[in-house]
Structure 1
């Protein structure tokens, strides 16, 4: 691919299979064959767990007005002078404890790459070379902008943007879409685009969740007394302002329970990852598991239906802080059921969502 640049400095790539259109002058820019792009998007990951890598990542994340919507004049001094002076050390230590040292990347990066590879295989089997699949991160690398540029350069005249969040939230799905649209602003010839809707109630997704629970329970001699579905939290205020996340989480839990054939006493929904002084969605997972233990529930399993891939919130927070809260309160058996990751049933569910969204674009 060429190393020419757009006016903002972004590389102006040219696909190796690009050709001069028929009947065009010989000096006409080469044009790659038309394709449909599928761009998967996840939250993001620091490049490393050292102080400066963590600071860059946290600064980008916590400066997003979709995530922290306080007025910048009030929030930025606190963020830059206080939070980013200390938090990179603690967050870096947490990342180091789960880091994929063999590949030099976070587990989220490793898993997202594996998911992309399997979905690429599924799309190739379905559509041949007419569909290109890649992934990007909202924060960190690979950036959304770089991947949009690469897809356009490869001839993607249509792009399906697929945020890998089962439930919609302004702080996840919406900010990923925002970044995608910003990336399109840099393109001279914009592709036609679609964004995939949340898939919190998709039958294939619910089936994949249920199978993961059944596998985990089937491997235990003594079954848990309760399954805790722990979702990432958000300020309670966001719910009252119209964000549907809480309702979609509750529906996911209900559909999972119905698929498993359980009554309401065997599963509940909680919310984790509190940040800041506001009241967040309740019950808080860390407090609820302690309450359960004190009330006599000695064996629990925890699942994270809001995460498409295991990450710092599941591998460190659930298996660290939340496990400790349960055990310190008298709990005896704590089982974390991994995210769906690149499980075949999950890949089938994601592929089904993609195929539904590509209808009318490709046969």
Structure 2
């Protein structure tokens, strides 16, 4: 619905009714698992200076000449093993849509049509730029931006915000924006994690719970990125909420890429070491991921599980991400409610 501003001349263009936008952002996904879809996605992802910060003159020839020639085949195979064939999309896309559908219903019940809820991806589709443009054209002159990362990292939250700001550069009339802070230590988030552990394990406690977080070069920590410390705090708070002893949960890091040292211990090596030490019953949780994706469904429940079992481990339980669990949606709604203060009644 559009209207002409009060006291405006007859030839003034009609404007959409003012609304406040909620824009949820996730990492992204290829459009398909074929070679060219994977290549486009990986090129965008691995060309991001927040992800790989090597000098362009050094990195781009390697990326374009070697990595993007070979990696789309292996990555495509991995995506194919978890692909949602019925919807013809990755699980991350399916889950993000489900999360947003629940958020949209909850927002409508709380704020009515004064709020518009949508989602975008940092890499791939729907792009941040296209969705911001759609929201502005729909009348959103204020936008709350929620990156779906519980923990802050330059390669996740910051690059999502970067892309939001690039999208604003294309707008003649920029909306006001608020970016949501990380929620890694919120009591409601920790409680949602603990509930997922209790539900998946049916009350029993394995010999070891491994909290596996996405990795990053150790150098980033030394340069001031708070991600490592936030991950450690989440593990500690989760253990305290569960009431487990100090040695019950280990913090590890996965998805190592490139030649330099990343945050340690590496999950794939750590679970194998646990098995060699006689730990035959473990569970793995991924608190840094808001939705199950290639890193959890294929890497943890595939490669990492295999490393554990090959080293002699027996019982391996993967605890799914919070996904569209009602407790998780409640956390996100609480975060959005706090950030909408003064913008939506």
Q: SS of the residue aligned with 2:209?
A: strand
1:60-99 deviations in whole A, cap 9, x for unaligned? 0000000000000000000000000000000000000000
Q: 1:71-220 maps to which residues of 2 (within 5 A)?
A: 71-218=55-202
1:24 aligns with 2:8: yes
Residue 8 of structure 1: aligned partner: none
Residue 209 of structure 2: aligned partner: 227
1:245 aligns with 2:227: yes
Residue 324 of structure 2: aligned partner: 342
1:39 aligns with 2:34: no
Q: In 2, Cα distance between the equivalents of 1:45 and 1:189?
A: 30
Q: SS of the residue aligned with 2:234?
A: helix
Q: TM-score, normalised by structure 2?
A: 0.99
Residue 278 of structure 1: aligned partner: 260
Q: In 1, Cα distance between the equivalents of 2:76 and 2:14?
A: 46
State the 1:224 CA deviation: 1.6
Q: In 2, Cα distance between the equivalents of 1:200 and 1:56?
A: 31
State the 1:223 CA deviation: 4.1
Where does structure 1 differ by over 3 angstroms across 4 or more consecutive aligned residues?
A: none
Q: In 1, Cα distance between the equivalents of 2:342 and 2:250?
A: 39
Residue 52 of structure 2: aligned partner: 68
State the 1:26 CA deviation: 2.2
Q: In 2, Cα distance between the equivalents of 1:275 and 1:62?
A: 11
Q: In 1, Cα distance between the equivalents of 2:102 and 2:241?
A: 26
Larger CA deviation: 19-28 vs 262-271: 19-28
Q: SS of the residue aligned with 1:292?
A: helix
User: Structure 2: where are the runs of 5+ without partners?
Assistant: none
Q: SS of the residue aligned with 2:116?
A: strand
Q: 1:213-362 maps to which residues of 2 (within 5 A)?
A: 213-218=197-202, 223-362=205-344
Q: SS of the residue aligned with 2:68?
A: helix
1:85-125 deviations in whole A, cap 9, x for unaligned? 00000000000000000001000000000000100111111
Residue 11 of structure 1: aligned partner: none
Q: In 2, Cα distance between the equivalents of 1:362 and 1:79?
A: 45
Q: TM-score, normalised by structure 1?
A: 0.94
Q: In 1, Cα distance between the equivalents of 2:11 and 2:30?
A: 43
Q: In 2, Cα distance between the equivalents of 1:71 and 1:18?
A: 48
State the 1:320 CA deviation: 0.9
How large is the Cα RMSD of the aligned pairs? Answer: 0.8
Larger CA deviation: 24-33 vs 54-63: 24-33
Q: SS of the residue aligned with 1:264?
A: coil
Q: SS of the residue aligned with 1:263?
A: coil
Q: In 2, Cα distance between the equivalents of 1:289 and 1:251?
A: 21
State the 1:276 CA deviation: 0.1
1:253-295 deviations in whole A, cap 9, x for unaligned? 0111111111111111000000000000000000000000000
Q: In 2, Cα distance between the equivalents of 1:170 and 1:123?
A: 29
Q: SS of the residue aligned with 1:265?
A: coil
Q: In 1, Cα distance between the equivalents of 2:148 and 2:172?
A: 27
Q: In 1, Cα distance between the equivalents of 2:111 and 2:143?
A: 15
State the 1:204 CA deviation: 1.0
Q: In 2, Cα distance between the equivalents of 1:86 and 1:255?
A: 41
